[in-house]
Amino acid sequence: MANKLQSLRLLARTRCSPSTGRTLTTLTGRSLRPSPSPAIRPSFTTLPPSNSFSYTSNSRKGLQPESDNPAPPNTEPSISTANTLPAPLSEDEYHEKADQYLERLVLALEEKAESNPDFEVEYDSGNLELTTPQGIYVINKQRPNKQIWLSSPVSGPKRFDFVIAGAGQHEKEESERVDEGEGDDREGGRWVYLRDGDSLTDLIFKEVGVKI
């Protein structure tokens, strides 16, 4: 009787699955436990210790609020702007120097226009308009600021102050004049864009090809 019962426990019924065609085995009696699979032990690779460690940061100074601004690109202005301040002109002196300069500029431009039909010059009451192949230049006086303003199709808008060459914050105008005959006023003064040190005379020569 015991042998018969043991045989029934080990008896397996075999049937075929209609969907997959696989043979399914059903164990009767005590279920057989599958043999445990061998444990898989993870393997680790030990890297050799590094003798050095380096880190390169791509951040630049000036990009963070607490950092300083990066140094501007190395440029060579036509006039040094270190300690450069506009000359203390009275209103009459401003008009005199601005009018004299613009009149000289108009004469030079009209001479250029005579031999070049692409140039056209119009001047009236301190307002100069120059038509060139590059576009239209507008140069005019700005009495409240004692400046000459330029609108260039090449370099954009700029504001020029009258500066005595070499005059600094603690230096007197009379003691720092260069040799007479130089400058936009023939006395050492120039109309200068203080942000980059370019003079109006040099800029017109570079862009228009007219020398005053």
Residues of the chain with pLDDT under 70: 1-83, 165-187
Count of domains for the chain = 1
At residue 152, the pLDDT reads 96
Task: Please report whether residue 198 resides in a domain.
Answer: yes
Task: Please report whether residue 200 resides in a domain.
Answer: yes
Task: Please report whether residue 84 resides in a domain.
Answer: no
Task: Please report whether residue 62 resides in a domain.
Answer: no
- List pLDDT tens digits, range 113-134: 999 999 999 999 889 999 999 9
At residue 78, the pLDDT reads 46
Q: How far apart are CA 80 and CA 165, in angstroms?
A: 9
At residue 126, the pLDDT reads 87
What's the DSSP call for residue 174? G
At residue 4, the pLDDT reads 55
- List pLDDT tens digits, range 89-99: 999 999 999 99
At residue 40, the pLDDT reads 55
Q: Which residue range(s) make up the domain with 161? A: 91-165+186-208
CATH number of the domain residue 95 falls in: 3.30.920.10
Task: Please report whether residue 78 resides in a domain.
Answer: no
Task: Please report whether residue 59 resides in a domain.
Answer: no
Q: How far apart are CA 123 and CA 146, in angstroms?
A: 19
The secondary structure element, H or E, covering residue 172 is none
At residue 196, the pLDDT reads 87
Task: Please report whether residue 81 resides in a domain.
Answer: no
At residue 87, the pLDDT reads 87
Local structure of 206: helix, strand or coil = helix
pTM listed for this prediction: 0.55
Task: Please report whether residue 23 resides in a domain.
Answer: no
